[in-house]
Structure 1
């Protein structure tokens, strides 16, 4: 029983640590803030291609988080990066990878694509 309590406390502590560390390099933006800057940035949809084809923010490029490591060459370090996925968890993982690779201006759409009310494009 004592081990279980220690394990749960450790897991919670790691989660809190990651949350605060992530806040140092990832800006989570409201839809309004996201709209203000994404046209001057690299707008990246990190969802899988079939999700992207069903609908995506107008002007975004599809670089799935599962392919990001291999496709970093397609992204510039000197321009802001605006990321989104369906809800926010995959774009947070993508942001972590980009941060480790030296990207500085990393932004994420709060709530992801499912909360987006702006223009979209679907195939």
Structure 2
């Protein structure tokens, strides 16, 4: 596998804010439903197909998972399939939350989504 760029939560947040990255979450649906980064798209590793990734246009695809392990695995699959994905959120959503950045979760009392810091 070629070198995978480890992006910090701050770099990913800046890219999301600037609309310069497309964040792809490779966790499983239950994990994504429980808590996610706003704007991330779900492509679970268990059924991950690099060819099915959306056309990101001018945006760079950045992968993300819980800790960084599964996103690195997904990046390796992309590279083996000839799909140009070279970056992930180092430390995953755990690092994102540790940096104090917001997530979206489901309020168990109402079923509505809410932003969490």
TM over 0.5, shorter chain: yes
Decide which of 105, 113, 116 is 1:122's aligned counterpart.
105
Match of 1:13 in 2: none
Unaligned ranges ≥5, structure 2 = 107-117
Shift of 1:105: 4.3
User: Helix, strand or coil: the match of 1:75?
Assistant: coil
The alignment status of 1:73 with 2:52, answered yes or no, reads yes
Shift of 1:83: 0.8
The alignment status of 1:59 with 2:39, answered yes or no, reads yes
The alignment status of 1:35 with 2:13, answered yes or no, reads yes
- The number of equivalent residue pairs is 100
Structure possessing the higher radius of gyration over alpha carbons: 1
User: Helix, strand or coil: the match of 2:79?
Assistant: helix
Pick the structure with more strand per residue: 2
Q: What do you get for the CA RMSD once the two structures are aligned?
A: 1.9
Shift of 1:77: 6.7
Q: Which runs of 4+ in 1 moved over 3 A?
A: none
Decide which of 47, 65, 68 is 1:88's aligned counterpart.
68
